[in-house]
Amino acid sequence: MTVKSEKLMALSSAIETFVTDGCHLSIGGFTVNRNPMGAVYEIIRQGRKKIHLYAHSNGQGVDELVGAGCVEKIEIAYAGNGRFAPTCIRFKRAVQNRSILVEDYSNYQMTLRFQAGAMGIPFLPTRSSLGTDIINKWGFSKKIRQEDPRIPDEKLIVGENPFKGWTDTKALVFVPAINPDVTIIHVQQADEHGTARIQGLTMADVEQAKAAKHLIVTCEELVSSDEMKSKPDTNQIPHFCVDAVVHLPWGAYPTACYNNYDYDPIFFNDYKIFASDDTLYQNYLDKFIHGTKNHQEFLDLIGGKRLQNIKADPRTGYAINLDRK
Amino acid sequence: MTVKSEKLMALSSAIETFVTDGCHLSIGGFTVNRNPMGAVYEIIRQGRKKIHLYAHSNGQGVDELVGAGCVEKIEIAYAGNGRFAPTCIRFKRAVQNRSILVEDYSNYQMTLRFQAGAMGIPFLPTRSSLGTDIINKWGFSKKIRQEDPRIPDEKLIVGENPFKGWTDTKALVFVPAINPDVTIIHVQQADEHGTARIQGLTMADVEQAKAAKHLIVTCEELVSSDEMKSKPDTNQIPHFCVDAVVHLPWGAYPTACYNNYDYDPIFFNDYKIFASDDTLYQNYLDKFIHGTKNHQEFLDLIGGKRLQNIKADPRTGYAINLDRK
Amino acid sequence: MADYTLRELMTIAAAREIPDGAITFCGTGISMVAAMAAKHIHAPNSTIFFETGAIDSLLEELPLAVADPRVMYYTAVNGALTDAFAYMQNRKTGKQVVGIMGAAQIDCFGNLNSTVIGDYHEPKVRFSGSGGACDVASFVDHSLIFMQHEKRKFVNKVDYLTSPGWLDGAGGRERAGLTGKGPSKVITNMAIMGFDETSKRMVLDYYYPGITPEKILENMEFAVDISKAKELQPPTNNEIRILREKCDPQGLIL
Amino acid sequence: MADYTLRELMTIAAAREIPDGAITFCGTGISMVAAMAAKHIHAPNSTIFFETGAIDSLLEELPLAVADPRVMYYTAVNGALTDAFAYMQNRKTGKQVVGIMGAAQIDCFGNLNSTVIGDYHEPKVRFSGSGGACDVASFVDHSLIFMQHEKRKFVNKVDYLTSPGWLDGAGGRERAGLTGKGPSKVITNMAIMGFDETSKRMVLDYYYPGITPEKILENMEFAVDISKAKELQPPTNNEIRILREKCDPQGLIL
């Protein structure tokens, strides 16, 4: 009853097949953690343009896609990278240059929007942002919204509570569903059919995964279905949600992958310098991304010593006493 | 930093403190599985009356509370017990006698109602039940609804999609939140502060727990906080949601508790006979519930051999080759 | 030709309707056995899942309820009710779902009653209620219904409309705002009924060996088109063997 | 009196506002250290949690982001964003939450801007955006704000209202439909500001040793009532010791 899975792909094929110019893309992870960075770099290598990006707080992944010029529009809650970048540097520049269009939401709103997409409904209600400019100020004009059927005609709608006064609520903000053309997440373990296991916090990855029309899962470790099915309480995504499975060790690097490796502070500190200057940033892209054929070559350029340095301690799941200054 | 928890209670105290006559109660589990049966029997022993019960598909727990005369009104999706009772027998009788009032929802609707309660919002939207009598026919009159502020003034509301046509949806059913006065769930493991771990399917227990004003957790095994915090990916309910923790081995018996014990087919087959006759049922209550002081005495009456028979096999989590005819 | 019981025939008839690659939603009893039979016979890539949140259960032993611990062993994911129903309402995964249901009453458009006989407030007979049946019937494009073929069950008007079929026929679901489709087939102890593509009224597709279309009509309150009905191919030896050896070896359901 | 830095003083000032039993929502940086300090000093039963879904993290090492793997180790529950924000919006648990935020601009009602300086569509300076700040500010009854005390930051009107404070003052939140309360305190490098109980306008509660109320007013676009202001008690030796030894021994934030 086990059939060799056609979902198992090389990263380059998965990106080529599902991530097209102008596609609506969502990536998993959160700031310094479990961004699908290998996939992000491959998108940059393949030169994708005009991507419409959905993100709650995907610091590093967002900044690199924006920095490399892949992104045209972005719906986002938070573009920072913890202590390493209070505001993501290339993102900041792109918005100030007006080379990308941005529309702002709160983190919970973006999460609810993915959740609504996963649930197959048009919206979810919340009280978050009542009385704020997140409701009043739209990043995308009515015209832009109407031209792309994948964007709802209105940003957020304030409505009455249909159950008058129930739970002491008068007004609500209705946040519209997102159904990305493609979502990419990086997980600790998956089998060849796509069943996936995330360790540590799942962020909004599960909702993003289930909301998508196509789902690419890159995984640290490709394991047997027997191994996955032996511990089903720890799995989150069933095979039938998944379109492509890519075995990609260190696939979240330079962001962290809990129980596997930490984020690389050296990378982030270097990146801060590169990102702050256009020429240095172009050199960075030329050397590290365009100058490498694939994620393995990129990792080789970083060097085994740096990787060794951030390997996770088995007790805590991160690299203890790592120099993070 | 560890303070002896005041939440740790005897079952009788927890029920006495939180489950009052006329309270709105929700119990966890699903048909033959992980119903908080020890707590149900204690509610019966303490003679609680006029309970307003919320359930999606809690077969055995519902039928015993109804059978013992504790319940006045019930909002429910499914009152059956798998192959052992296509319709729960005492429930069927009580509805046909009109000794309880019942209001019908679908299973997803009840789940969404608990989820809305947990999310702190008045309703959630779905397409389920459009065009059906689940919308048209109310179990509780307008008058009953208005007299109890804990019941919304309307059962379900059909509304327009505020994002016209978004996700190809025109109409939606808005299902109102439930915030029970008290929820009781039975879990495999908890610590004295209330952090809880469910193994196998969580059903709607997590949503029911978080929706409640007060939460009682009965647990098969009381473990240290250290044990709980060492495997946090497998925990679902944090201590701050919990009001009472009760250590109650076999607390789901005669329903199953995954990885611990199976359901008891002998009990269910006997129950079917008792429940089908008013006198036999009264005898059952007198002997098994009122005739025992607590859950341990009840279990003693069942006998160790019966319990031994349904102990879970460690590989599968249930009792293999159990005679279930 | 295999020696078989009527219940086995019904199970096989339902199993044949489940395509390879389907995500099969099933309840307790015969529908679970039909889903298992499909997976063992012709749909190895189908996935059995339960409203309780268990996905792709091994079912080494037959569960007697959808919350039976036997559905939790060796699954792809052990989730929750929130997840399970969301897969059905989800626009990508919902299209792959085949739902299997039963009911106490059915009308000519496949609308189901599993709630009460008689008045809702003064019922003559109370049943279990919807469970997840209304949900799956509301959401998915492909559903199968098991029924006993009796006049009191195939009625002009259901006493309570629990689970939506094609509602009032052509365009009915769209008017109500439902996006999925009404039932595909009704599998009874006498026949397989389908629905007319245009009018969405029930029609007789297949009658079982030894049963006449006339006998079937006698057991329904409403008339159906029998003009295109054919006799059903009985189960093969292989189908019956798999059913008995792999799906319900303990004879708990069949 | 202890020797202390201004940053340490601010951290302690915030920590003192966190009651025992609180569920403390914090972001990256100084707010995380304040939450840890409260737990180590006077609020042992407080629970630190992050919008990313980590509940009651041990924080053996200081995280540099709310998604840092250090927040995932030895927690009560590792959940998801859906869970974390629901605890804040939930009517039972939300009442126990103390939120700690920062911003680029604040107005006299405690409304915050962390999105842009200048026009939204043609920003002079772009910041990170709301993250979870707007959510926690919308939901909870008790929140603290860290600010640098500068005229360009304490403004008559925020360029973009990212996170709701008391909105337009008395009754403003109710009119907008918000159920939680506006901010309790603003903790700056010069002072602790509160809000008038009736008007909800900012007032000066405490000025730091060596800072005059007049100097504080000079660093704000809008005037505030300074009539009830007192000098703040400096941190104790014990507070400073715990801060340095237990909360940020590597000096990553302070």
Helix (H, G, I), strand (E, B) or coil at C97: strand
| The pair of three-digit structure tokens given for residue D152, joined into one six-digit string | 């360009």
Helix (H, G, I), strand (E, B) or coil at D82: helix
Q: Which residues of A touch B (CB under 8 A)?
A: 117, 119-127, 152-154, 157, 159, 161-164, 166-167, 169, 172, 174, 176-177, 179, 199-200, 233-234
Confidence of residue D254 (pLDDT cuts 50, 70, 90): confident
pLDDT at C77: 98
Q: Which of B104, B106, B201 has its CB closest to that of C132?
A: B106
pLDDT at B4: 56
CB distance A218 to A242 below 8 Å:
no
Kindly give, in sequence order, each residue whose CB lies less than 8 Å from that of residue A308, ignoring residues fewer than 6 positions away.
none
pLDDT at C2: 65
Q: What is the pTM of this model?
A: 0.98
Chains C and D share 3 or more Cβ pairs within 8 Å? no
Q: Which of A225, A229, A240 has its CB closest to that of C93?
A: A240
| The pair of three-digit structure tokens given for residue B33, joined into one six-digit string | 């599985």
Q: Does C139 touch chain B (CB under 8 A)?
A: yes
CB distance A202 to A233 below 8 Å:
no
Average pLDDT over residues C59-70: 94
Q: Per-block average pLDDT, block size 10, for chain A (325 residues)?
A: 74 98 98 98 98 96 98 97 93 97 98 98 98 98 96 97 94 98 98 98 98 98 98 98 98 98 98 97 98 98 98 98 93
Which residues of D fall within a CB distance of 8 Å from A132? Answer: 134, 138, 161-164
pLDDT at A4: 57
pLDDT at B214: 98
Residue C31 lies in a domain: yes
pLDDT at C254: 83
Q: Does A204 touch chain D (CB under 8 A)?
A: yes
From B230's Cα to the closest Cα of chain D, the distance in A is: 5
Q: At what angle do helices B59-67 and B265-275 cross, to 10 degrees?
A: 30
pLDDT at D29: 86
Among the listed residues D166, D111, D151, the one whose alpha carbon sits nearest the alpha carbon of residue A134? D111
d(CA A174, CA B125): 11
d(CA A20, CA A216): 13
Q: Answer yes or no: D245 catalytic.
A: no
CB contact under 8 A, C126 and B96: yes
pLDDT at C28: 81
β-bridge pairing D97-102 and D142-146: parallel
pLDDT of C88 strictly over 90: yes
Contact map slice: B 80-99 vs C, CB within 8 A: 80-84, 86-88, 91-92, 95-96, 98
CB distance D131 to D99 below 8 Å:
no
Chains B and C share 3 or more Cβ pairs within 8 Å? yes
Among the listed residues C240, C233, C231, C242, the one whose alpha carbon sits nearest the alpha carbon of residue C7? C240
From D237's Cα to the closest Cα of chain A, the distance in A is: 27
- Which residue is closest to B3 within chain D, CA to CA? D45
Q: Which of C39, C77, C89 has its CB closest to that of A195?
A: C77
Helix (H, G, I), strand (E, B) or coil at A203: strand
Mutate: best of D30, D126, D146, D250, partner A, most A CBs <10 A: D126
Place of tokens 């809990």: A258
Average pLDDT over residues D133-151: 97
Q: Which of B120, B159, B233 has its CB closest to that of A234?
A: B233
- Which residue is closest to A180 within chain C, CA to CA? C92
pLDDT of C250 strictly over 90: no
Which residues of B fall within a CB distance of 8 Å from C177? Answer: 127, 130-131, 158, 169-172
Among the listed residues D171, D56, D35, the one whose alpha carbon sits nearest the alpha carbon of residue D99? D35
* Residue D161: domain span: 6-247
Which residues of D fall within a CB distance of 8 Å from A34? Answer: 67
pLDDT of D1 strictly over 60: no
CATH of the domain at D73: 3.40.1080.10
Q: Does D91 touch chain A (CB under 8 A)?
A: yes
From A217's Cα to the closest Cα of chain D, the distance in A is: 18
From B21's Cα to the closest Cα of chain C, the distance in A is: 25
- List A245's β-bridge partners, or say none: A8, A217
CB contact under 8 A, B210 and D45: no
β-bridge pairing B71-76 and D77-78: unpaired
Residue D1 lies in a domain: no
Q: What is the end-to-end Cα distance of chain B in Å, rounded?
A: 52
Contact map slice: A 211-250 vs D, CB within 8 A: none
pLDDT at A325: 86
pLDDT at B284: 98
Q: Which of D71, D132, D162 has its CB closest to that of A108?
A: D132
CB contact under 8 A, D77 and B232: yes
pLDDT at D253: 85
For the segment D74-110, what is each residue's pLDDT rounded down to a tens digit?
999 999 999 999 999 999 999 999 999 999 999 999 9
| The pair of three-digit structure tokens given for residue A178, joined into one six-digit string | 């997102």
Among the listed residues A49, A82, A90, A46, the one whose alpha carbon sits nearest the alpha carbon of residue A66? A90
Which residues of B fall within a CB distance of 8 Å from D139? Answer: 120
Q: Is C194 exposed, middle or buried, given 0-12, 13-18 or 19+ CB atoms closer than 10 A?
A: buried
Q: Which of A105, A133, A201 has its CB closest to that of D161?
A: A133
Residue D171 lies in a domain: yes
For the segment B108-156, what is each residue's pLDDT rounded down to a tens digit?
999 999 999 999 999 999 999 999 999 999 999 999 999 999 999 999 9
Residue D133 lies in a domain: yes
Residue B252: how many other CB atoms lie within 10 Å: 32
Number of domains, chain C: 1
Residue D254 lies in a domain: no
CA A201 to chain CA mean position, Å = 14
- CB hemisphere CA count around C41 (13 angstroms): 27
CB distance B64 to B103 below 8 Å:
no
Domain-by-domain residue ranges, chain A? 22-117+179-223+235-309
| The pair of three-digit structure tokens given for residue A159, joined into one six-digit string | 């409505």
Mutate: best of C25, C31, C58, C134, partner B, most B CBs <10 A: C134
CA A138 to chain CA mean position, Å = 22
Q: Which residues of B44-70 are buried (b: 16+ CB within 10 A; e: fewer)?
A: bbeebeebbbbbbbbbbbbbbbbbbbb
Residue D240 lies in a domain: yes
pLDDT of B324 strictly over 50: yes
Mutate: best of B115, B128, B164, B166, partner A, most A CBs <10 A: B166
Kindly give, in sequence order, each residue whose CB lies less than 8 Å from that of residue D176, ignoring residues fewer than 6 positions away.
A130, A131, A171, D164, D167
Q: Is D221 exposed, middle or buried, given 0-12, 13-18 or 19+ CB atoms closer than 10 A?
A: middle
Q: Is C68 exposed, middle or buried, given 0-12, 13-18 or 19+ CB atoms closer than 10 A?
A: buried
d(CA C30, CA D116): 61
Query: For the domain with range A22-117+179-223+235-309, which CATH number is right: 3.40.50.10190, 3.40.1080.10, 3.40.50.970, 3.30.420.10?
Result: 3.40.1080.10
Q: Does C198 touch chain B (CB under 8 A)?
A: no
CA A200 to chain CA mean position, Å = 16
